[in-house]
A = this chain, B = another copy of it.
Amino acid sequence: MVTFLFIVSAAVVLAQTPRQVSLIITNGIVVTVDDGNRIINSGAVAIDGTDIVAVDTVENVRRQFRGRQTIDAAGQVVMPGLVNTHTHAPMVLYRGLADDLALDQWLTKYIFPAEAKTVSPEFVRAGTRLAALEMIESGTTTYADMYYFEDEIARETKAAGLRGVLGQTVIQFPVADAKTPAEGLARAERFVQAFKNDPLITPAVAPHAIYTNDSATLKAAREMSVRLGVPTLIHVAETQSEAMTAKERGSGTVVSYLDSIGFLGPGVLAAHAVWVNDSDMALLKSRGVGVSHNPVSNMKLASGIAPVRAYLAADVAIGLGTDGAASNNDLDMFEAMRAASFLQKVATSDPTAVSASAAVRMATIGGARALGMDKQIGSLAPGKRADVIIVSMNAARQTPMYDPLSHLVYVTNGDDVQTTIVNGKVLMRDRRVLTLDRAAALRDAKKWAVSVSAAVGR
């Protein structure tokens, strides 16, 4: 009898005093990207601290929770933040410096000389601030990066409030932050130790590619990743010519070469993976390697068309990336979704290939899975980190709306993102970025552009 009374009174108390949480986003069209692809038309997301605590109808969330802060998302889409699985953040300072060139011209006449003359800790910090601003403004909440002075990138990423899987580059030739691969490896280890337990930063080791590293360096980089328990980021089979290096080292393809030196395994993220055959794909799948598909970069640089429909059919962990802004030329993941869908449709002569739903999944949970973070991020579910964006659907080009997934992929741009939340913290509210000095970031970028122009004589 006592027990019964206790239960009743507890229920009454629950009904009367909803739990207080830090933030409730309410009245939105909630695109959960959960296993059932659930869309809640009049939905709410309750966030407490760094975590999502509820994703449900407005009514159910209101009954259980009260927010210290509330954001009304009426008429807008509430969805997981976008996961950009491959970029080189500071290269935003080179965007549009040189386009429409043959690959070797582009690299040897512009990008490499510019990097040789301008990359420094200060340059990398200014570039990361600009990239972070652009990512926050376009709904990216997690990004994977490969560049130099990655510790500087990590500090700016943390300051901006973004989540990052940040890979310190290891490369055979002398670069701005290391004269030898050994120096690069030592720098990578220091970087990993410094950021190992950070709530926002996952440090990683990033051997650039097989054509820019010998097998000893590749092995050493991978062994360090495994020893330290952090991801390995690498460019894989981006261009057809990369297979030359693999052949010189006795393997038929880039992927089979990497497997032959014991490189492939869980925690490896293969950026691009355009030129793969069926065996390569089976290897990537069986070794638990994640793939980053970068459709805009692959088209703009004419690298080739990755077999994305086949990757999806084989259930390879595949996400989307923008690549660096020197080869895109922006960091808009909505454009990446659209391009991924369009390119596969036309390449396979099949208009059903990479549906809007598939593209949204790749840009969120797919990317999280490719980075080994799908337990923490990539969908809206209680217990996951609160990485959430709110996307406007009120433009003429978004009217009328029959299907929010179609609109997200086929008519929405990064600029439609109104609010960006990472780890429960609001980084942008109603288009106002709260964690960065926008004017200063743009001003600094313009200053650096003067040096970049001078470096390449244009």
In the bound complex, residues from chain B placing their C-beta under 8 Å from that of A346 are: 298-299, 302-305, 343
Interface-facing stretch out of A46-54, A56-64, A92-100, A150-158: A92-100
Interface-facing stretch out of A168-176, A313-321, A446-454: A446-454
Q: Which of A102, A298, A442 has its CB near the most chain B CB atoms (within 10 A)?
A: A442
A351: interface (CB < 8 Å): yes
Q: When chains A and B are docked, how far (Å) is the Cα of A298 from the Cα of B351?
A: 10
A195: interface (CB < 8 Å): no
Q: Which of B300, B350, B396, B445 contacts A351 (CB 8 A)?
A: B300
The digit string for A325-349, where 1 denotes a CB below 8 A from any CB of B, is 0001111100000010111011011
Q: When chains A and B are docked, how far (Å) is the Cα of A97 from the Cα of B401?
A: 8
A397: interface (CB < 8 Å): yes
Q: Which of B100, B403, B415 contacts A96 (CB 8 A)?
A: B403
Q: Are A302 and B102 in contact (CB under 8 A)?
A: no
Q: Are B100 and A352 in contact (CB under 8 A)?
A: yes
A106: interface (CB < 8 Å): yes
Q: Are B329 and A410 in contact (CB under 8 A)?
A: yes
A36: interface (CB < 8 Å): no
Q: When chains A and B are docked, how far (Å) is the Cα of A240 from the Cα of B302?
A: 25
The answer to whether A397 and B331 touch (CB under 8 A), given A96-B410, A343-B346, is yes
Q: In the complex, what's the smallest C-beta–C-beta distance from A295 to chain B, in angstroms?
A: 9
Q: Are A442 and B396 in contact (CB under 8 A)?
A: yes
Shortest Cβ distance from A298 into B: residue: B346
Instruction: Please tell me the size bucket of the interface on A.
Output: 35 or more
In the bound complex, residues from chain B placing their C-beta under 8 Å from that of A332 are: 397
In the bound complex, residues from chain B placing their C-beta under 8 Å from that of A396 are: 130, 133-134, 137, 438, 441-442
CB-contacts of A160-200 with B (<8 A) = none
Q: Are B302 and A351 in contact (CB under 8 A)?
A: yes
The answer to whether A329 and B133 touch (CB under 8 A), given A101-B351, A355-B99, A356-B100, is no
Q: When chains A and B are docked, how far (Å) is the Cα of A355 from the Cα of B330?
A: 17
Shortest Cβ distance from A410 into B: residue: B329
Q: Are B402 and A414 in contact (CB under 8 A)?
A: no
Q: Are A330 and B397 in contact (CB under 8 A)?
A: yes
A209: interface (CB < 8 Å): no
The digit string for A429-458, where 1 denotes a CB below 8 A from any CB of B, is 000000000100110011011001100001
Q: In the complex, what's the smallest C-beta–C-beta distance from A296 to chain B, in angstroms?
A: 7
In the bound complex, residues from chain B placing their C-beta under 8 Å from that of A134 are: 396-397
